[in-house]
Amino acid sequence: TERTLVLIKPDGVERSLVGDIISRIERKGLSLVALELKTVSDEVARGHYAEHEGKPFYPSLLEFITSGPLVAAVLEGPRAVAAFRQIAGGTDPVEKAVPGTIRGDFALSTQNNLVHGSDSPESAEREIALWFPDLGV
Ligand code: ATP
């Protein structure tokens, strides 16, 4: 079994899509290990998106992710990292995400694309430690 860190970004909370997104996670068969509504500090946002520092969209991305409450969750299940990325769809919700995925069904913007999911088990460990420092690994 495997764990992954998922965010329902501020656009998902703002648009009242939290229930739908969690329902999709549950119906896929992934288990919720942790779930919390939080407004993120600039420090956590920078830690989370460290790999994107210096890219043109980085300042705007930090502003977006700290703009309001988001939902952070830890999911568990077989191949949880890939399974969540499958139901999320590709980063660009129009060119990459297909209908039937969270982004393909509900998003238009590459930045405001509703969800984040860890991209590897190693990223998941790092991100879970950042978002849920009290959760034992
Ligand atoms: P996430 O890491 O959030 O699951 P991802 O792995 O699909 O997304 P990354 O390439 O890691 O995508 O980018 C992280 C986030 O940065 C994206 O989800 C999106 O919100 C934002 N982003 C990525 N590329 C762009 C871009 N070209 N323009 C604006 N925002 C972008």
Report the distance separating Cα 77 and Cα 74, nearest Å: 10
Phi-psi domain of 16 (left: phi exceeds 0; alpha: psi -120 through 50; beta: other): left
Query: Is the distance from CB of 101 to CB of 89 less than 8 angstroms?
Result: yes
Q: Extract the tokens encoding 101.
A: 């995925």
Report the distance separating Cα 76 and Cα 43, nearest Å: 26
Please check whether residue 136 lies inside any domain of the structure.
no
Identify the band that residue 137 occupies on the pLDDT scale cut at 50, 70 and 90: low
Please check whether residue 88 lies inside any domain of the structure.
yes
Q: Which residue has the tokens 């992934």?
A: 30
Mutation test of ligand 1: which of 51, 61, 94, 127 has the most ligand atoms closer than 8 Å to its C-beta? 61
Please check whether residue 100 lies inside any domain of the structure.
yes
- Measured from the Cα of 119, ligand 1's closest atom is 6
Domain that holds residue 32: 2-131
Please list, in sequence order, all residues whose beta carbon lies within 8 angstroms of the beta carbon of residue 137, skipping any fewer than 6 positions away: 3, 125, 128, 129
Ligand 1, atom 22, residue with closest C-alpha: 111
Q: How far is the CA of 135 from the centre of ligand 1 (A)?
A: 26
* Mean pLDDT within 7-15: 98
**CATH for 30:** 3.30.70.141
Ligand 1, atom 31, residue with closest C-alpha: 111
Query: Is the distance from CB of 69 to CB of 38 less than 8 angstroms?
Result: yes
92-134: pLDDT as tens digits? 999 999 999 999 999 999 999 999 999 999 999 999 999 999 9
ipTM: 0.92
pTM: 0.96
